[in-house]
Amino acid sequence: MNARGALGKYGEELAARRLTEAGMTVLERNWRSGRTGEIDIVAREGDTLVVCEVKTRRERSFQHPMAALTPVKAERLRGLAERWVQEHGGAPPGGVRIDLVGILVPRRGAPEVEHVRGAA
């Protein structure tokens, strides 16, 4: 695994921990739908299905992680969420929500983890 892959895996671990600490149940990680893409984390919060995009950046990177969810990416996530729901028995009573967890990893000290509910 290269450094970028290791950073992403680290970020997903932090995100899953944050979601669990917030009372969510992680159902699946790195769910793939053929060639159309991947959902980083699928979780449940009460009766709502949460599709979570995780973006991890180093402190001095070009773009803040929270700016990485573009309209195109959001549309792709909505399509992936729809496909996940179809393959897993339909939408729950609380519907589906897309969240974003942005992680900023400094050179020293603890990473900053920000969770935005209903980001897309």
Q: Average pLDDT, stretch 32-38?
A: 85
Q: Average pLDDT, stretch 20-31?
A: 96
What is the helix (H) or strand (E) element at residue 104, kind and residue range?
strand 96-105
The overall longest dimension of the chain from CA atoms, in Å, is 44
Taking 80 as the threshold, does the pLDDT of residue 44 lie above it? yes
Average pLDDT, the chain: 90
- Per-residue CA distances from 41 to 5, 25, 52, 60 (Å): 16, 10, 5, 25
Q: How far apart, in whole angstroms, are the C-alpha atoms of residue 105 and residue 103?
A: 6
Bridge partners, 102 (sequence order): 55, 114
Check residues 35 and 11 and name the one with the higher pLDDT. Answer: 11
- Per the structure, the count of domains in the chain is 1
Domain that holds residue 50: 3-116
Query: What pLDDT score was predicted for residue 17?
Result: 96
Most confident of 2-6, 43-47, 75-79: 43-47
| CATH number, domain containing residue 20 | 3.40.1350.10
- Count Cα atoms within 13 angstroms, Cβ side, for 69: 22
Taking 90 as the threshold, does the pLDDT of residue 45 lie above it? yes
Q: Average pLDDT, stretch 43-65?
A: 87
Of the candidates 64, 117, 74, the one whose C-alpha atom is nearest the C-alpha of residue 94 is 117
Are 104 and 12 in contact by the 8 Å Cβ rule? The answer is no
* Confidence band of 32 (pLDDT split at 50, 70, 90): very high
